[in-house]
């Protein structure tokens, strides 16, 4: 079955979001920063907000658990916009090439807090070019859960076998494949991933 739709993840594919961009200027010590990010504000903790919980509730709970880091934990909300360094050039160029080809419809499927997504949507103009976007924080479920993929398919009447999915997380890729999507892992070698997508879609930059 031919590909008709291209589904993009955002963080790690189109947007460079990483708490290290902000916390490096808070700790001024890589070892202390890494301990904080790996043991306090963990990816599992962040995923609660991606799944729809409020920043305030999550921060309040974590401050009780790690009172010695209360100030730094609270900065996760106040300093959030500084965790975005900008666009990922290769990913955005790929999106533009897909749009320019005129052959495919583009969608977004992202793990993102409902509180902070409006900032990203208004800040990055290319976001407004998607036919539709499914945001985990709004749906109260996250990738790699199968349910959020089903939401994408049902809301926009997509056949998964007609969709190419691009994501930087291998677990998300595994679920997408299990749903019947063609997938490309947008890993550390961005150029390799872009080349693979262009080959599948038979287009060029």
pLDDT at 150: 98
> How far apart (Å, rounded) are the C-alpha atoms in residues 73 and 59?
6
Say if residue 142's pLDDT is above 80.
yes
List, for residues 190-200, the tens digit of each pLDDT value.
999 999 999 99
Tell me, yes or no, whether 43 and 135 share the same domain.
Answer: no
pLDDT at 1: 75
What sections of 66-201 are H helices per DSSP? 70-78, 89-101, 117-123, 136-139, 146-155, 170-178, 190-201
Tell me, yes or no, whether 77 and 162 share the same domain.
Answer: no
List, for residues 176-190, the tens digit of each pLDDT value.
999 999 999 999 999
Tell me, yes or no, whether 96 and 40 share the same domain.
Answer: no
Q: What is the mean pLDDT of the chain?
A: 97
Tell me, yes or no, whether 80 and 124 share the same domain.
Answer: no
Tell me, yes or no, whether 151 and 186 share the same domain.
Answer: yes
**Cα radius of gyration (the chain):** 18
Tell me, yes or no, whether 68 and 111 share the same domain.
Answer: no
pTM score, whole prediction:
0.96
Tell me, yes or no, whether 89 and 180 share the same domain.
Answer: yes
């Amino acid at each position: 079955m031919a590909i008709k739709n291209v589904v993009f993840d955002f963080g790690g594919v189109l947007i460079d979001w990483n708490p290290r961009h902000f916390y490096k200027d808070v700790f001024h010590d890589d070892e202390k920063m890494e301990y904080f990010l790996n043991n306090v504000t963990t990816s599992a903790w962040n995923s609660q907000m991606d799944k729809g919980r409020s920043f305030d509730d999550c921060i309040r709970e974590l401050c009780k658990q790690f009172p010695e880091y209360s100030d730094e934990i609270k900065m996760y909300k106040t300093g959030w916009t500084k965790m975005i360094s900008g666009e990922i050039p290769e990913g955005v160029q790929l999106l533009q090439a897909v749009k320019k080809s005129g052959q495919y419809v583009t969608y977004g499927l992202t793990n993102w807090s409902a509180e902070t997504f409006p900032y990203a949507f208004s800040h990055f103009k290319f976001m407004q070019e998607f036919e539709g976007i499914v945001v985990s924080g709004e749906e109260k479920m996250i990738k790699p859960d199968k349910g959020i993929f089903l939401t994408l398919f049902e809301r926009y009447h997509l056949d998964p076998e007609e969709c190419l999915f691009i994501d930087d997380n291998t677990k998300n890729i595994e679920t997408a494949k299990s749903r019947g999507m063609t997938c490309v892992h947008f890993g550390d070698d961005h150029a390799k991933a872009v080349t693979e997508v262009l080959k599948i879609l038979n287009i060029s930059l």
